[in-house]
Structure 1
Amino acid sequence: MNILFLTLSKMEDTNQRGIYTDLVRELANKGVNMYVVSPRQKREKLPTELSKTGNINILKVKTGNITSTKSFVEKGISTLKIEDQYLNAIKDNFKGIQFDMIMYSTPPITFNKIIRYYKKHHNSKTYLILKDIFPQNAVDIGLMKKDGVLYKVFRNKEINLYKNSDTIGCMSKGNFDYILDHNNYIDKDKVEIFPNAIEPISRKVNIEKDKKVLDKYNISQDATLFVYGGNLGKPQGIDFLLKVVNEFHKVDNGYLLIVGSGTEFNKINNHIENIKPKRISIFERLPKEEYDKLIGCADVGLIFLDHRFTIPNFPSRLTSYMENSLPILAATDSNTDIKDVLLESGSGFWCESTDANEFIKYAKKLSIDKDIRQDMGLSGRKYLEQHYDIRETVNILLKHLEGDVQNV
């Protein structure tokens, strides 16, 4: 069986860990021939290239700059051009291959031409992994006007994407409900929950912190280490994050470590340099191995989302924190159901990202109470193993190809 997977996630090496690489590896482990199409953005100055390892084929396609670009116009143009770039590269490099399924994740919403082509010529089944509800998310945070031409163009593409998809896999119940409530033309039977999932690492046995790593970053071994790792853009509600930076001195024994890149990195970095707070550090980029070591020393994982969102975002870093048995402190909009997961799993605290005082109150509690941190961390790890293990959740996708799987 052959599955074509279209993604904007950079996938140079499927041995790396992440929600998409883990998905690709698990499908390959089940005998599926995987054909992954991933971007090589203009800034990388690398050509289109095909690589193969076992039954995983990765086609890295030269594209414009789509992610981490400060120009919304450049991002928009590159996003509109990507489907032709991908389709031409697929035709050139995967000649003669019959695809049983086309699997694709949002963003972007501009793969309709590819999807229609393979539905028509290969009779391929089509599966949308919905990770992003665009363009409404851009409207929510003021990047686009709902009565504007750009919104209408992208909204039309979004509608066509949903119509062209045989199945839409949503990250959570909140996403499931939102898609159906705001798109009454979608048949409920074609929508299901396909959560963010990973192949969990073994549970930590040694809970001793790596003193060498902490010393390298001038972090006290006795400090309660709060870590935010991920995108630093407008979706994260940066003004609220800056309020947390201003108030974090109130968290006794706490240390705040911010690791990420994005359009708002310089704004955060400049603010920290100007006020020179104690026990706060920010890094734009760290090697994956180095970041993993720091996460291994962390005591609390942080999640931030802009309070204006009307769509139920569900950040994938939740699984990373749960995997490492970290309690979670999330400050988000009120529409995301991540707060419900934290409550159900007993894995952390939530507040709306308008209330810095509430955030600091929970941070203080987590900083001084090791037992709560440990209990929440273990509860989160247990919840991950029950709900977000890719070795189990991949079967949600494969049931749509049951006859083909039996013949692999």
Structure 2
Amino acid sequence: MNLLFLTLAEISSVEERGIYQDLLRKFRNEGHDVTIVSPVERRKGIATNFNTKKGVSILQVKTLNIQKTNIIEKGIGTIAIEYQYLAAIKKHLTGKKFDLVLYSTPPITFAKVIEYIKKRDHAKSYLLLKDIFPQNAVDMKMLKEGGFLHKQFLKKEKKLYHISDTVGCMSQANVDFVLQNNPEISKNKVEVNPNTIEPVVFNYSDLQKKAIRKKYQVPTDKKVFVYGGNLGKPQGLDFLLETILATETQDVFFLIIGDGTEFQKIQEWFNNKKPANAKLLQRLPKEDYDQLLASCDVGLIFLDKNFLIPNFPSRLLSYLEMKMPVIAATDPNTDIGDVIEEAHCGYKVMAGNQDEMQLKIKLILNSNIKEIGERAEKLLLSKYTVDQSYHLIMEKIE
């Protein structure tokens, strides 16, 4: 089978680790021909190019800056990317016919590209719904509900659902949300196809974990609660900072690792407050990040309390992979906390409820963290491996 994958993620090799790289590597290893269309932002100064690495074709398309940039360039860039991808595909991929076009949100603006491939090659189409836009932008007050832009993006969202043969959602709450808000969509074309990875075993000894912590000047005599990933408005990180100040127990140390639009704000907070029980590190290389994560004890997930859409952050998988209990402080609409509690590998907290957060921190500290971690790994292996995503997708084209 010839597979075309469209994404906003910058992918230069499927040998890297990540939810998309792991899935595409699985397709390649199963004998399928994989072609990736991925952006290379103008800030990098690289022209549109086509190359093959380890059996995978990669078409890098020069775009405007669409990640970690101002809202105007991001908006224009997101709209323009559809036409840039289409032009690049017509130029570089004219000689290859595809059986399946696979794509993820964001963005919702790939419709013309998908329609072109479906019509040209009679291909099947599969959407991996990772972000429900424009509702998430409305939730974050970045877009006015009922305004001109909102209406235009709603049309594009519905068009994307319409041309997708299958819509794979991250969780059951996502399936329910999509069907409730888009009654014109057939229930038969929407399914749960969650974030998945190819797990790696991180069996570090206690001595090795201590050495890793010392390298980053993280205490070796405390339970380290780690938040790793994007530091942006959707994460509602004010509650994380409140939690750091409110946690008086001497047994807990908070580690924040990441980057994003809120990093500068968080760094200024650290400079002003100088918390003795926390440390902030900017984004690390993936290998270094994984090592540091593996030396921590408890994973943290934060989402803004105002979300109406049921987000399901992929960072959960990293925590489960490291055999860590998880505390998820979220809005009431996501089901990520329910999944964690049903698997007995952590707790959910309503974002903003500090009393509840302190209770769950104490429950974790008074529990057998190793046993909870074993259940976390069991959850990962039962629900979130690439084998499951791969078979769900293959069922639609066989």
TM-score tier, shorter chain, comes to: over 0.9
Distance in 2 between the 1:82 and 1:291 partners?
A: 30
SS in 2 for 1:401: coil
Taking the aligned partners of 2:285 and 2:158, their CA distance within structure 1 comes to: 38
CA distance in 2, matches of 1:345, 1:195: 16
SS of match in other structure, 1:96: coil
Alignment partners' CA distance in 1, 2:131 and 2:395: 23
Which residue of the partner structure matches residue 357 of structure 1?
355
Counterpart in the other structure of 1:43: 43
Aligned length: 398
Q: Tell me, which stretches of 5 or more residues in structure 2 are unaligned?
A: none
The 5 Å alignment of 1:1-400 reads 1-69=1-69, 71-202=70-201, 204=203, 206-248=205-247, 250-366=248-364, 368-369=365-366, 371-400=367-396
The RMSD of aligned alpha carbons is 1.3
- Aligned residue type for 1:399: E
CA distance in 1, matches of 2:271, 2:54: 48
**TM-aligned CA deviation for residue 83 of structure 1:** 0.8
Q: Per-residue deviation at 1:216?
A: 2.0
> After TM superposition, where is structure 1 displaced by more than 4 Å over at least 4 residues in a row?
none
Structure 2 length-normalised TM: 0.97
How much does 1:304 deviate? 0.4
SS at match of 2:301: strand
Contact in 1 for aligned 2:13/2:53 (Cα 8 Å): no
Task: Kindly indicate whether the alpha-carbon contact (under 8 Å) linking 1:32 and 1:55 is maintained by their aligned counterparts in 2.
Answer: no
Q: Could you tell me how far apart the structure 1 residues matched to 2:226 and 2:267 are?
A: 16
Mapped contact 2:196–2:317 kept (Cα < 8 A)? yes
SS in structure 1 opposite 2:58?
strand
Deviations along 1:20-66, one digit per CA (max 9) or x if unpaired, are: 00000001111110001111112222222222124311111111111
Change (3 A) 1:177 1:207: farther
CA distance in 2, matches of 1:223, 1:385: 29
- Cα distance between partner residues in 1 of 2:354 and 2:40: 39
Q: Which amino acid aligns with 2:338?
A: D
CA deviation vs aligned residue, 1:356-396 (integer Å, no higher than 9, x gap): 22212222332x33x53112111110011111111233100
Q: Deviations over 1:189-244 (max 9, x none)?
A: 11111111101113636454433321122212121111111111110012222212
Shift of 1:252: 2.5
- AA aligned to 2:199 is P
Asked whether the equivalents of residues 236 and 305 of structure 2 are also in contact (C-alpha less than 8 Å), the reply is: yes
Aligned residue identity for 2:64: G
CA-CA distance at 1:312 after TM superposition: 0.5
Distance in 1 separating the partners of 2:56 and 2:80? 26
In structure 2, the residue matched to 1:405 is: none
Is the Cα contact below 8 Å between 2:330 and 2:350 reproduced in 1? yes
Q: Distance in 1 between matches of 2:214 and 2:186?
A: 56
| More displaced 10-residue stretch of structure 1: 285-294 or 315-324 | 285-294
Q: Is the 8 A contact 2:202 2:294 kept in 1?
A: no
Q: Is the 8 A contact 2:22 2:386 kept in 1?
A: yes
Aligned-pair CA distance for 1:255: 1.1
Q: What are the superposed Cα offsets for residues 65-122 of structure 1, whole Å, 9 maximum, x if unpaired?
A: 11122x2121111000001111111222222100111100000000011011111111
Write the letter of the residue equivalent to 1:9: A
| SS at 2:4 equivalent | strand
- Percent identical among aligned pairs is 46
Q: Distance in 2 between matches of 1:51 and 1:284?
A: 31
Give the match for residue 406 of structure 1: none
- Counterpart CA distance in 1 for 2:209 and 2:180 is 48
Q: Secondary structure at the match of 2:370?
A: helix
SS of the residue corresponding to residue 283 of structure 1 reads strand
How far apart are the structure 1 equivalents of 2:284 and 2:201? 23
Q: Distance in 2 between matches of 1:319 and 1:114?
A: 31
Letter in 2 for 1:58: I
Q: Provide the C-alpha distance between the structure 2 equivalents of 1:222 and 1:209, rounded to a whole number of angstroms.
A: 14
Q: Conserved in 2, the CA contact under 8 Å of 1:252 and 1:364? A: no
Question: Could you say what secondary structure the match of 2:151 adopts?
Answer: helix
State how far apart, in whole Å, the 1-side matches of 2:42 and 2:280 are.
27
The residue type paired with residue 93 of structure 1 is H
Larger displacement relative to structure 2 (47-56 or 261-270): 47-56
Within 2, Cα distance between the matches of 1:236 and 1:205? 30
The 3 A distance-change label for structure 1 pair 221 and 391 is: same
Q: Which moved more, 1:382-391 or 1:239-248?
A: 239-248
Rounded Cα–Cα distance in structure 1 between residues aligned with 2:322 and 2:63:
35
Secondary structure of residue in 2 paired with 1:132: coil
Out of 125-134 and 220-229, give the one that drifted further.
Answer: 220-229
